[in-house]
Amino acid sequence: MERKVAIIDVAQTKYGVRPDVHLPELAFEPVEEILKKTGLKFTEDGTGIDATVICCDDYWDGRTISGVFGTDVAGGHLRHEERLEADGTLGVFYAMLEILAGHSDVVLVVSYCKESHTEPRLVENMCVEPIFLRSIGLDFLSAAALQANAYMTKYGITAEQCAKVVIKNRGNAKLNPYAQSAAKLTVEDVLRSDMLASPIRAMDSKPVSDGACAVILAVEDKAIKFTDKPVWIKGIADCYDLHYPGDRQLAECQSLVTASQKAYKMAGITKPVEEIDVVELCETFSYQELLWSEGLGLCAPGEGGKLIESGMTEIGGKIPVNPSGGMISGNPVIVGGMTRVVEGVLQLRGEAGAHQVDGARIALIQGSHGICGQHQCVIILANDQGGR
Amino acid sequence: MPNRVAIVGIGQTHHAGHRYDVSFEEMLNEAVRAALKDAQLSIKDICATITSNMDPFEGRGCSDTIAVAEIGAYLKAGVKPQTGGTSGATIFSVAWTYVASGLFDIVLVVGGEKQEEVGGDSQMAIITAVDELILRPFYTGALGGLAMLGSKYIAETGCPEEIAALARVIMAENALGNPYAHIRRKITIEDVLKSPMLIYPVRLLHMSPQSNGATALVLASEEKAKKITDKPVWIKDVVTVHHSGFIRYLSGLSPDPSSHEVAAKRLFQRNGITKPMEEIDIFEMYDPCIWEQIIWMEDFLFLERGTAPKLIERGVTRRDGAFPISPSGGVVSANDIGATGLTRFAEAALQIRKDAGDHQVTKEVNLALVSGWGAANWTILGLLSKSIT
């Protein structure tokens, strides 16, 4: 890369059900905060923010071309603004590409979603292939249950091991003031919760959530000027898997393996567990933290259960995973990956408060979109100590 | 400076009223295969795929993840931008960014629309694009907005309806030369004047149709492009501008310039263009309604208000004129929404390559202007060039 790109600041809302705000008001909360924190303005002369990227989804928002509702609040009026229907990590990726392409130096990325104002299962059903899959009622939950079964059966992963993900993450959430569903739980609590789609129980699943995030990226010379705590994007890659669950090896996550290997190569990482200090990943359902950990190379295929049991992924462990509490403690889809980016940046700046991982220098971020983690994005972040 | 990017492959399906023979994904596949064939590349050569459609128009969300197998996105990078009618042009701009960034060498971009398949409805969907508290109860889809703009233009300039009819007839003549266009029939001035009034001043024949179809392009870096083809079409520049005042713009109540004016100013300034109609050879415009073709000519080309009709009367915009506009027949001759914007870039590139067949313009084309439009006034404006500099 000719130009190095850094994240210069981040902002997020508290996650939860938010009947008190209209969608654009929700989106404006982190935008207002990040503008205040950075003192940056939307300018045309290269002294402030040059462009905007918005991530949101029409069906989740209940509006067509729903990015339009973020334009006013994200500085899009009569300016360069792009809109993506993808997880927030892809928004960060695209903002970086815009900077590398050279027309913009400083780009604001905003993602927002208000799951509570719609019926998630109907929305998800609209996002599967319409002729064969939609008519059988497939949604993200039932597809995930198929994947969980395939994964747990092939590798002997137990419901208790999945429950431990919930216990760890909702426990971590108690340390994160932005998290939605923080709780001190036992394995019995999780295993006694309602069965949604076997083997996924209510507590294995993330709650309905509303929220928004904002991130500002800048090219190296401006990043250094605007902040003394830049967080550098050292590696980034995304990858699609096939759509039909029957066409895929659901117990593996081929697209995540491909994306993470590309991102590691770009960042010069050869031993992820040794070199990475903190991981934030998108586990919509508990089994996904184990499966995604395998895809990210934090353990060998099939070893995700042992990984959680080892305690390595707890705060204070060798490689903490989701010290923020993760998706399972409540983040909306679309926004989920951006929340991971925000949390990664807070960790690398030493600003994560009670869930801070001591001395974090390199963070691994994962975001996903589509059924069974079909589209995966991996980002490696580093602070100045982690190396530009 | 951005890395140089060229169009090295062009493919499109017939933009048709119905495509009962294929699914949406199969239709995208047709365009992808055509573009790869044109570039003489295999899907293995592609690093990333950028695709779009209009979800609620079509009754299908996450279309990029659904169509992975058919567009060849399997184990590749990519993303789905979505900006309403602009989508086809936005994916072009996004794909340009991918290659210009230097991280991707060869990128496939494909857009399409098939509203007839699973019960989508573009006009019902467009109504949900405006604020549900105030505007939604009386908003009438794309047609209402375009009619307001036309109505305001007539009030300001006194433009007679015969001019709109003439512009539409020119588009029909162009479309007759384009085998991929949807509406391909001889249309007379009388036909247009007598066609049913939808919302004043927009008549049925003024409006773009609802089409089914797909368009795909292959974009490549300078190094790759020179190896792939001996007739690359260079993307000189492309800008995106968004005007948030949906109804305020269309009804003329916005105090700000239009997104078209801002985009043109930005693009021309950056590329040292002072007299667009002299320096640029053709303009493939996103003209969703013939009234907008007339109005937006003035916005894009910095013409004085009310002067476009004279140019149309003089035949300047005809295929053999001094400044041909939409020689493909334009959006009024085919509008498969997710593809429409991308088709504009494809058609301009065909003109530069002299591969446009029966709708090739008479003059030599070295520099082409291309626009996309949609949603709450998103403008994409690009310059395609025969020469690399």
- Mean pLDDT confidence for A212-237: 98
Q: How far is A312 from chain B (nearest CA, A)?
A: 30
Mean pLDDT value across chain B: 95
Structural domain count, chain A: 1
Tell me whether residue A381 is in a domain.
no
Tell me whether residue A37 is in a domain.
yes
Superfamily (CATH) of domain B5-121+210-228: Thiolase/Chalcone synthase (3.40.47.10)
Domain that holds residue A13: 5-118+208-226
Say if the Cβ atoms of A126 and B61 lie within 8 Å: yes
Say if the Cβ atoms of A242 and B77 lie within 8 Å: no
In chain B, % of residues over pLDDT 70? 99
pLDDT value at position B60? 87
Tell me whether residue A248 is in a domain.
no
Q: How far is CA B194 from CA A152, A240, B59, in A?
A: 68, 51, 34
Q: Per-residue pLDDT tens for B178-224?
A: 999 999 999 999 999 999 999 999 999 999 999 999 999 999 999 99
pLDDT value at position B120? 67
- Mean pLDDT confidence for A238-252: 96
**Domain spans of chain B?**
5-121+210-228
Tell me whether residue A232 is in a domain.
no
Mean pLDDT value across chain A: 96
- pLDDT over 70 at B176, yes or no: yes
Interface test with B, best of A2, A59, A65 (most B CBs within 10 A): A65
Q: Per-residue pLDDT tens for A193-221?
A: 999 999 999 999 999 999 999 999 999 99
pLDDT value at position B8? 98
Interface test with B, best of A44, A64, A114, A260 (most B CBs within 10 A): A64
Q: How many whole angstroms separate alpha carbon A160 and alpha carbon A190?
A: 9
- pLDDT over 90 at A145, yes or no: yes
In chain B, % of residues over pLDDT 90? 85
pLDDT value at position B129? 82
The three-point CA angle A344-A345-A351 to 5° equals 105
B352 half-sphere exposure, CB direction, 13 A CA radius: 32
Say if the Cβ atoms of B128 and A64 lie within 8 Å: yes
- pLDDT over 80 at B138, yes or no: no
B56 near A CB under 8 A = yes
Interface test with A, best of B28, B101, B104, B235 (most A CBs within 10 A): B101
Q: Which H or E element spans position B134? A: none
CA B241 remoteness from chain centre: 15
- pLDDT over 70 at A147, yes or no: yes
Tell me whether residue A157 is in a domain.
no
User: Residue A1 — pLDDT band, cuts 50, 70, 90?
Assistant: low
Say if the Cβ atoms of A241 and B68 lie within 8 Å: yes
Q: How many CB pairs under 8 A join A and B?
A: 185
User: Residue A329 — pLDDT band, cuts 50, 70, 90?
Assistant: very high
- pLDDT over 90 at B252, yes or no: no
Q: How many whole angstroms separate alpha carbon B344 and alpha carbon B83?
A: 16
Q: Torsions phi, psi of B54, nearest 5?
A: -100, 105
Which residue from A97, A121, A109 is spatially nearest to A30, judged by alpha carbons? A109
The residues pairing with A12 across neighbouring beta strands, listed in sequence order, are A213
B2 or B102: which leads in pLDDT: B102
Q: How many whole angstroms separate alpha carbon B344 and alpha carbon A44?
A: 28
Q: Per-residue pLDDT tens for A31-57?
A: 999 999 999 999 999 999 999 999 999
Q: Which chain A residues are Cβ-neighbours of B66 within 8 angstroms?
A: 127-130, 243
- Mean pLDDT confidence for B11-27: 96
Q: Per-residue pLDDT tens for A271-325?
A: 999 999 999 999 999 999 999 999 999 999 999 999 999 999 999 999 999 999 9
CATH number for the domain harbouring residue A81: 3.40.47.10
Q: Which of A76, A103, A370 sits opposite B242 (nearest CB)?
A: A76
